[in-house]
Amino acid sequence: MRAVVIEAGSVVARERPDPVPGVGELLVSVRAAGLNRADMLQRAGLYPAPPGSPTDTPGLEFSGVVADIGPGVERFSIGDRVMAVVGGGAQAELVIVHERAALPMPDTLDFLEAGGFPEAFTVAHDALFTQCALRPGERVLVNGAAGGVGVAAVQLARVAGATVVASVRAPHLRASLESFGATAVDPAEAAAHGTYDVILEPIGASNLKSDLGSLTIGGRLVIIGVGAGARGEIDLLQLMDRRARICGSTLRARPLEDKAVAARLVERQVLPLVAARRVRVPVEAMFGLEEVDAAYARFEAGNKLGKIILDVSR
Amino acid sequence: MRAVVIEAGSVVARERPDPVPGVGELLVSVRAAGLNRADMLQRAGLYPAPPGSPTDTPGLEFSGVVADIGPGVERFSIGDRVMAVVGGGAQAELVIVHERAALPMPDTLDFLEAGGFPEAFTVAHDALFTQCALRPGERVLVNGAAGGVGVAAVQLARVAGATVVASVRAPHLRASLESFGATAVDPAEAAAHGTYDVILEPIGASNLKSDLGSLTIGGRLVIIGVGAGARGEIDLLQLMDRRARICGSTLRARPLEDKAVAARLVERQVLPLVAARRVRVPVEAMFGLEEVDAAYARFEAGNKLGKIILDVSR
């Protein structure tokens, strides 16, 4: 199979042996694979693959068709359209996923959209609901709102009856975010728009002070990325006075059972919204597998709404 | 009535007008009032009383006898033995408390113990169970374990089936803590004793790095005091990798409805343990109301197990 491989800090397409599904695993013929911040970190050598995942092929999410099944598989059959979050290896023509981590692909998504769905919507759903127990009527601030997770979070929070402020640096992306029902603002203005019950933070330490200062009593700040730095100072008295909390979450390092729980929640609570077209997956740009270096460059350039997708069927 | 008054950074007993109970309020003839870290901060002008509380008489907890009731009181009658957490004013011969914030005093406590029960056990219960959802079999680290909240937390965590490591600086207090079922250690050794699902932190920023480094996957750090500093650096990536959370909590600033909820939880979940003598309130020293300055000095000297109590009946 052809697979993206990290070589000396670059990504290139190379020939690799076909993987073989083990007990409970699916072999999936990948049609599309979304890019994520973690891929950039892995390419730079800063974020090694978790144990059990391919070490040199990145890719945390994909859509595709089941090409073969290992012993004991019960949930899927050859030919089924599936999508999933994996610990790595999705940026390839073939990928292995445990059937419990896989999601059925709704008819309302095409393969390209579905390739960018699992990571963004699972992280956003986990952060807003599992970590922060978002409730209707609450005010949510989504930072980095034009990214894959951001766009997913804005939509899920709106569906859940929350009021959403979406911060994004690029002014020309704000109209699109407003079309999803958010009030879109410059990051520097988020605090002036009020206080927040829940803040989703994919950017990291540079926003920490402003985030903590903007939490309501009982507010929750969830850190899902640290692209702009991991270390920051907090004021514990502020945390106490607000009875607030800061939590961190990442999907990639979780064991199979935790990933399976997150996948089942998305299956039950988000896929019906996809099927009803109440949420959608905006795709900013697509690249073929042989163009992976350009795809990563496009991701790093920012200034995009939604996902950068590798179209593996090209 | 005689009441403790803050004058130019000192505490003295002074004559003050008797307070009058309003709708739903009890007037309590105070028998004993526990000292807390917040009193020291208030005396130093660093922690003003919350709105609606006496501004110059400290005291967050007391035991006593209902002397009069305001209109509409339903839960208590004149002559009932009660104890409670209040926003201030407890270090006096008479105090006002809303009946929904008051607890009935179990027969197994005397007035001196009961005067040091409400704040410590409500904060410890709130932190361990309401904030951190402690479960049996989990490992808990209680820092500052010889303080009032610390001793309460050690006992509540043990009763709840947790394994407890109690850190305390003074070596001679460790045997007492071990008698409550904890493994008592020097604060510098806590991290060497393993990782923790829940860490109770009453000391503040100086322990932050060590606390975060000692959390398990899914671990919870709850900040309930900042005596050793409020500002500290955290590593957000560490928080993400562990899917951990930091929360802050304080009782004093909460509105009546939140205090009433916390009081009802203690009434239902902790008072039966007191009645069964499964938890107790260690009292380190007692002082009369006129000796309040010496009482504060004893509190500040540290090196004590459990509570410093003002014996208002003397």
Average pLDDT over residues B182-210: 94
Kindly determine whether residue A243 and residue B233, on different chains, have CB atoms separated by under 8 Å: no
Per-residue pLDDT tens digits for B1-44: 999 999 988 999 999 999 999 999 999 999 999 999 989 989 99
Is B204 in the A-facing interface, judged by CB distances under 8 Å? yes
Q: How does residue B239 score in pLDDT terms, banded at 50, 70 and 90?
A: very high
The answer to whether B2-117+252-311 and B120-248 have equal CATH topology is no
Res. B314: pLDDT tops 80: no
Per-residue pLDDT tens digits for B67-80: 999 999 999 999 99
Res. B187: pLDDT tops 80: yes
Q: Enter the tokens of residue A81.
A: 């359209």
Which of B247, B251, B252, B254 to probe by mutation at the A interface, max A CB count within 10 Å?
B247
Q: How does residue A49 score in pLDDT terms, banded at 50, 70 and 90?
A: confident
B57 bridge partner residues: none
Check if CATH label 3.80.30.20 holds for domain B120-248.
Answer: no
Q: Using the 8-state DSSP alphabet, how is residue A248 labeled?
A: E
| pLDDT of amino acid A193 | 93
Per-residue pLDDT tens digits for A173-231: 999 999 999 999 999 999 999 999 999 999 988 899 999 999 999 999 999 988 888 99
Provide CATH code, domain B2-117+252-311.
3.90.180.10
Q: Using the 8-state DSSP alphabet, how is residue A257 labeled?
A: H
Per-residue pLDDT tens digits for A107-137: 999 999 999 999 999 999 999 999 999 999 9
Of A205, A192, A167, the residue nearest B239 (C-alpha): A205
Is A241 in the B-facing interface, judged by CB distances under 8 Å? yes
- Whole-number Å distance between alpha carbons of B201 and A146: 37
Domain positions in chain A? 2-117+281-311, 120-248
Per-residue pLDDT tens digits for A140-163: 999 999 999 999 999 999 999 999
| pLDDT of amino acid B50 | 84
**Using CB atoms and an 8 Å cut-off, which of residues 95-134 of chain B contact chain A?**
131
Q: Is B242 helix (H, G, I), strand (E, B) or coil?
A: helix
| pLDDT of amino acid B296 | 97
- Whole-number Å distance between alpha carbons of B85 and B87: 7
| pLDDT of amino acid A126 | 96
Is B230 in the A-facing interface, judged by CB distances under 8 Å? yes
Complex ipTM above 0.95?
Answer: no
Average pLDDT over residues B285-302: 96
- Interstrand relation of A25-34 and A307-311 (parallel, antiparallel or unpaired): antiparallel
**Range of weakest confidence among A277-286, B210-219, B253-262:** B253-262
Select the more confidently predicted residue: B69 or A302.
B69
The sign of the CA dihedral A140, A144, A149, A152 is positive
Domain A2-117+281-311 fold: Quinone Oxidoreductase; Chain A, domain 1 (3.90.180)
Please tell me which of the candidates A223, A233, A235 has its beta carbon nearest to residue B239.
Answer: A223
Which residues from A are below 8 Å from B205, CB to CB? 236
Q: Is B13 helix (H, G, I), strand (E, B) or coil?
A: strand
The answer to whether residues B279 and B120 touch, using CB atoms and an 8 Å cutoff, is no
